[in-house]
Amino acid sequence: MLAVLYTIGHSTRTIEDLIGALRAHQVQTLVDIRAFPMSRRLPQFNRDSLEQTLPAAGIRYVWLKALGGYRKKSLEESPNIGLRNQSFRNYADYMLTPEFDRAMSDLLAFAESSRTAYMCAERVYFRCHRMLISDWLVARGHEVLHIDAEGPVKSHALMGEARIVDGRLIYRGDRLL
């Protein structure tokens, strides 16, 4: 079944602004995809705070650690040569693992049962691993909509470097496979 998923970054907004944006788009479940769901500077976005404030606002909160960013280099020869940023390349390599596939199955299960958004800290989706997760979803036919605030959403378009090779998302660009 194809799903519609939303994304959002908490950035420096207030918890009220985050909840307002989620409510404006009728989000029922927020899946936190940060590797470390905490912030000294913005404690309202610490996991323990979100576990209290979001359910009180009628929004289910789930931390999905297996989708967290900050991945170390795992492949000596990365197939994702179309990504110049090493952090993005490391994450794209992680996306080729069974652990990532299981975590994406979990994310999609949430989206099948409720209107779901996935969240990290960066407000602008193309500056974080939300972009790569969104590519994975769109490449498989799902729809991804990026929330910035209470206004209109932005539909996700697959990065130009992305290619499906043997059923896997690889960032090669125009380079020969």
| Domains of the chain listed by start with CATH number | 4-77+97-157 (3.40.1010.10)
**What is the model's pLDDT at position 136?**
97
pLDDT tens, residue by residue, 121-147: 999 999 999 999 999 999 999 999 999
Q: Is the pLDDT of residue 173 over 90?
A: no
- The pair phi, psi for residue 98, each rounded to 5°, is -60, -35
User: Any residues with CB less than 8 A from the CB of 156 and at least 6 apart, and which?
Assistant: 7, 125, 134, 135, 137, 138, 143, 144, 145, 146
Q: Is the pLDDT of residue 163 over 50?
A: yes
**What is the model's pLDDT at position 145?**
98
**What is the model's pLDDT at position 176?**
47
Q: What is residue 9's DSSP assignment?
A: E
**What is the model's pLDDT at position 174?**
66
- Name the pTM for this structure: 0.94
Residues 137 and 25: beta-carbon distance below 8 Å: no
**What is the model's pLDDT at position 92?**
97
Which contiguous run of DSSP H or E holds residue 139? helix 130-139
Q: In a 10 Å sphere around its CB, with 0-12 CB exposed, 13-18 middle and 19+ buried, how is residue 17 labelled? A: middle
Q: How much is the mean pLDDT over the chain?
A: 95
Percent above pLDDT 70 for the chain: 98
pLDDT tens, residue by residue, 46-99: 999 999 999 999 999 999 999 999 999 999 999 999 999 999 999 999 999 999
